[in-house]
Amino acid sequence: MPLTRSAALTTDQSRAAWTAIILTGGAGTRIGREKSSVMLGDFTLVEHVLMGLPSRVEVIVVGPDLPRPPRPVTCTRESPQGGGPVAGLAAGLHLVTTEIVGVMATDMPFAGGLLESLAQSIPPGADALMPVDTTGHRQPLCAAYRVTALRSALFALGALTGTSMRSLLTHLVVAETTSTTLDAPFDKEVLFDIDTPSDLDRSRAIMLERKGRSHG
């Protein structure tokens, strides 16, 4: 069973009917350090993700401890550590009590606000709803899932360590969405993910552009 390292959960009775799982355990080989600790402006990538989520949502962080998270979270780890996103997802799912879960990787600092729209929009008959980026690729690490279906899919996989998200999706009925089909449309920058130093430079430019638009 996963170890709960920090339990500062909100007791607000108006909390959301979905839970967020944030996966922060990536080694960040191409960027040279753990992605969760990478700075973007004044905050780390994981802090950007956490601040982008609605305050009433219960958040489970799978990965290294967060000494001073900007909001209440519960931290846990996959076993063994470094087992990959599917193993991390399974670890976080052990702590979920809602029927819907939103899943996000820590390297998507602009996507936190999108997760609620996904969680509230899974269509009937679908097990998951995920956005499709401008290149036509699904984003399973920025998606909403029905918890019962996700648990069944994880069970069907058997071994989880090193298993790809693509393998997990073969056991789910997945609905796709684009910026034109959600109540809260997202722009092309929302799904930008950071894998390399050049991606980090681009994300800094995006952040400045977004600040300029908001001030305008």
- Per-10-residue mean pLDDT of the chain, 216 residues long, equals 43 74 73 72 87 93 88 90 91 96 91 89 96 88 97 94 93 89 65 82 78 58
- Structural domain includes residue 93: yes
* Token pair recorded at residue 4: 């709960």
**pLDDT for position 73:** 94
**pLDDT for position 180:** 65
Selection from 86, 213, 98 nearest residue 160 by Cα: 86
**pLDDT for position 6:** 45
Rg (CA), the chain: 16
Exposed/middle/buried for residue 102 (C-beta within 10 Å: 0-12, 13-18, 19+): buried
Into how many domains does the chain fold?
1
User: Average pLDDT of the chain?
Assistant: 84
Rounded to two decimals, what is the model's pTM? Answer: 0.85
- Structural domain includes residue 185: yes
- Structural domain includes residue 148: yes
- Structural domain includes residue 130: yes
CATH of the domain at 115: 3.90.550.10
- Structural domain includes residue 1: no
Selection from 22, 108, 18, 3 nearest residue 69 by Cα: 22
Selection from 103, 129, 10, 2 nearest residue 49 by Cα: 103
Range of the domain at 44: 6-215
Going by DSSP bridges, is the β-strand pair 128-131/174-177 parallel, antiparallel, or unpaired?
parallel
Q: CB–CB of 19/57 below 8 Å?
A: yes
**pLDDT for position 173:** 98
Selection from 168, 5, 166, 143 nearest residue 76 by Cα: 5
- Structural domain includes residue 62: yes
CA distance 20 to 57: 7
**pLDDT for position 7:** 42
Q: Where are the alpha helices (DSSP H) in the chain?
A: 45-52, 85-93, 114-119, 147-157, 165-169, 197-215
